[in-house]
Each structure stands twice: as C-alpha cells, then as structure tokens.
C-alpha cells in the first residue's frame, strides 16, 4: 500500500470535470447558463466539429473585471453565493463555481470579457491547467468563452465522443431547452460556420408561442392550451398539449422550475395523473410548463448537473400541479362536449 497524499489541484479539477462535463453539450450548458446569469440579452453559440474542435459562447451580459478573470477560472470561486444561507435561496443557474475550472482542465480554454461601463476588454487563457497572464484584448461589452479540443488530454473521454452529427444534435436540443426557458433572450447557433438557429427575443406571449411551435411542432399552438394558475405562493404557466398533441415518445416535455429545466419524480407523477383519463396507454403528453416558487422551497443542490431538484413540500407541489393541469384539461373536455352538443 502506498501512503496517502493530497491530489494535485489539476487532477482535482479533472475529476470534478468528470461529473459535469460529459460531452460538448455539457460545456454549452454551463457557458450559456453563465451568460444568462450575467443578464445577457443575446447569446451566440458557435460550434465546430460537433464541439470537439471548438465551442464558443458569446454574450452581451455584465462582463467580468480584469482582476476577476483568474478567479472566474479558479475552482470553487463564484460571484453567485457567499454563504450557506445564499445556497438555500439561490436563484441563479450556477452557484458551484466549478464549471469554468472544470472545462479549463479538459480543453484549451480562453475567456475574453469587457465589464459593463469599462473602456477595455481583457483575456485569459488556460492550457493544461496552466493559467496565462491576463492581457488586454478586443471585445464589446460582455463575455466570450472558447473551449477548443475538448478532452484532448483525457483520451478515455475523447474516445467516447459520438459522431459530429450526434454531438451537435445534443447541443441543438440543449439550446432549444434553454431558449424555451428564456423567451426574452435572443439565441443564435452556428455549426462549422453555418448559421443553424436564430431565435429572436420574444417580446410577448404570441412571439413566445411561435418559438414554442418551432420546438414542439407547427400544430402545437392549435393543439394546446395556455395555462396560468397561481396559488399558495406558486405559479404554473405555459402551454399544455391537448390529447391530439400527444406523442408515442416523451420527447416534447419541458418542465422548468424557476427557469431551470428539471426531471423530477414528483412532477412526472402529477403530470401523469392529470392526463391519466384523457390519454391512451403508451401516449405521452407534450407541454412547456414553468413552475415558479420561492427558491427557498426547492433544493437545486442535488446533483452537479442541477437537473434534479428536491421540493421541500413535495405534497403541496404535487397537488398544485395536479389540480392546475387537471382543471385545464377538464375545461377542454367540457368545451368539447359543449361543441358536440346539438
Ligand atoms: P458559477 O456559475 O457556479 O458561479 P462558473 O465556474 O461557471 O461558476 O463561473 C465562475 C464565475 O465566473 C461566475 O460566478 C461569474 O462571476 C463569472 N462568469 C462566468 N461566466 C460569465 C459570463 N458569461 N459573464 C459574466 N461573468 C461570468
Ligand atoms: Mg456557471
């Protein structure tokens, strides 16, 4: 047996990266979430070779001060929380202060930023865990992050990258889910220099429904109901698909909790129950739903990828969801019957 030794910081980051950076789309997720946390009105994502060669995310958000650039890429450094109490109330997408450090340990990393109101932009590069000096650079207000040659130094991970097309499809799906989370933000996506998606900021419900239709299908607006229910400090809004919009696969289900796409048992159960008597066995509903509640009522620190949550009052949330959805669907049932009546 050898003696116990502390791990070198670089290795610690690579191990952490194993948890959050599974594939190129994980990098895109972390970067776009950072842009959204920085209040961006516009986010541009450029991808080359499915993300294996280049992932670049550019935003017009608040930016980062030159002095903060080295901290931004240091692990466990964040501007989003400072105490346990903050963690209990966290409303931002990020809070672990680990994403940039992780990706900088498994790719060639560069970040350029101009702080709101500043005259100059600055850039930092990190290569194989070596941080280079912060240098002046050209950049409009906001931040650009580039990750090149993802997993170039982690052959086991590199080997598991799928075909370019597959990795890009993951990125496209991810961006869809983020674009549905933030209708007011403009998103652009390009692959190998070709523009693939342009979603202009949706200023109202109608524009948002058009964005939704792009993701869930042209007929979704006719086959869905607008829902907006509030009670007991919670609000559920969005669009619930009618039975005619149901699918053979559960691939058109977007459920956001305080702006974060989540998969959750309690939610899934409430939805299933609400649809139980209107859908045939084997059919899956389509929906885009936004649940808002006091951040203190939901724990997002369950898993590094933050796609799981834990509600403090599961029963209450479940019943609220079930009742809201069931009621919405019941109205249609009544509506259909009225229309069919002589
Ligand atoms: P976290 O998002 O959990 O705080 P990250 O490693 O993703 O951790 O980012 C570290 C810090 O870098 C953030 O807390 C934020 O202050 C800063 N940062 C990262 N990306 C951006 C961005 N696009 N715009 C402004 N600040 C950013
Ligand atoms: Mg982050």
* CATH code for position 80: 3.30.565.10
Predicted confidence (pLDDT) at residue 240 exceeds the cutoff of 90: yes
Looking at the CA of residue 77, tell me the nearest atom of ligand 1.
Answer: 10
Tell me, yes or no, whether 334 lies in a domain.
yes
- Nearest residue (by CA) to ligand 1, atom 17, is 72
pLDDT score recorded for residue 12: 87
Region of poorest pLDDT, from 43-47, 82-86, 320-324: 82-86
Domain that holds residue 55: 9-199
pLDDT at 336 over 60: no
Task: Supply the DSSP symbol for 149.
Answer: S
Q: Is the shortest distance between the CB of 255 and ligand 1 below 6 Å? A: no
| Ion ligand 2 neighbours, Cβ < 5 Å | 34, 94, 99
Give the ligand 1 atom nearest the CA of 92.
2
Question: Cα–Cα distance between 179 and 188 in angstroms, integer?
Answer: 10
**How many domains, the chain?**
2
Q: Does 122 fall in a domain?
A: yes
The C-alpha R_g of the chain, in whole angstroms, comes to 22
Q: Are 184 and 39 in contact (CB under 8 A)?
A: no
Spacing, Cα 36 to ligand 1 middle (Å): 10
Answer whether residue 62 is part of any domain: yes
In this prediction, the answer to ipTM > 0.95 reads yes
Residue 85 has what pLDDT? 87
- Could you identify the atom of ligand 1 that is nearest to the CA of residue 75? 6
- Domain harbouring 312, CATH code: 3.30.230.10
What pLDDT, on the 0 to 100 scale, is given for residue 183? 96
Is the pLDDT reported for residue 16 higher than 90? no
CA-wise closest residue to 51 among 139, 164, 153, 159: 164
Across the chain, what does the average pLDDT equal? Answer: 93
Residue 55 pLDDT > 90: yes
Which residues, 6 or more positions from 275, have their beta carbon under 8 angstroms from its beta carbon?
243, 285, 325, 329
Please say which residue of 150, 173, 199 terminates a domain: 199
Ligand 1 mean position, distance from CA 31 (Å): 8
- Answer yes or no: do 38 and 143 share one domain: yes
Query: Ligand 1: which residue has its CA nearest to atom 10?
Result: 72
Query: Which tokens is 340 given?
Result: 């069919």
Decide if 210 is inside a domain: no
Specify if 209 maps to a domain: no
Give the distance (Å) from ligand 1 centre to CA of residue 327: 41
Measured from the CB, is residue 35 less than 6 Å from ligand 1?
Answer: yes
């Amino acid at each position: 047996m050898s003696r116990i030794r502390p791990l070198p910081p670089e290795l610690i980051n690579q191990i952490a990266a194993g948890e959050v950076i599974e594939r190129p789309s994980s990098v895109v997720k972390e970067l776009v979430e950072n842009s959204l946390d920085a209040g961006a009105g516009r986010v541009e994502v450029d991808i080359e070779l499915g993300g294996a060669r280049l992932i670049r995310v550019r935003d017009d958000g608040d930016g980062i001060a030159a002095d903060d650039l080295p901290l931004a890429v240091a692990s466990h450094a964040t501007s989003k929380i400072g105490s346990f109490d903050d963690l209990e109330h966290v409303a931002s997408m990020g809070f672990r202060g680990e994403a940039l450090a992780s990706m900088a340990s498994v790719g060639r990393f560069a970040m350029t930023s101009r702080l709101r109101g500043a005259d100059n932009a600055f850039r930092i590069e990190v290569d194989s865990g070596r941080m280079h000096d912060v240098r002046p650079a050209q950049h409009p207000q906001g931040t650009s992050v580039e990750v090149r040659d993802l997993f170039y130094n982690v052959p086991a991970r590199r080997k598991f990258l799928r075909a370019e097309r597959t990795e890009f499809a993951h990125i496209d799906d991810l961006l869809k889910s983020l674009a549905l989370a933030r209708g007011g933000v403009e998103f652009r996506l390009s692959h190998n220099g070709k523009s693939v998606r342009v979603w202009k900021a949706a200023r109202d419900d109608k524009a948002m429904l058009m964005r939704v239709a792009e993701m869930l299908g042209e007929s979704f607006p006719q086959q869905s109901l607008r829902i907006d229910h509030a009670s007991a400090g919670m609000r559920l809004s969005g669009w619930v698909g009618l039975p005619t919009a149901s699918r053979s696969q559960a691939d058109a289900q977007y459920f956001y909790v305080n702006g974060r796409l989540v998969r959750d048992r309690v939610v899934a159960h409430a939805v299933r129950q609400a649809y139980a008597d209107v859908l045939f066995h084997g059919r899956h509903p389509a929906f885009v739903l936004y649940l808002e509640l006091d951040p203190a009522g939901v724990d997002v620190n369950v898993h590094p990828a933050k796609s799981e949550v834990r509600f403090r009052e599961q029963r209450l949330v479940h019943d609220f969801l079930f009742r809201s959805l069931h009621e919405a669907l019941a109205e249609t049932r009544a509506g259909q019957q009225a229309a069919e009546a002589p």
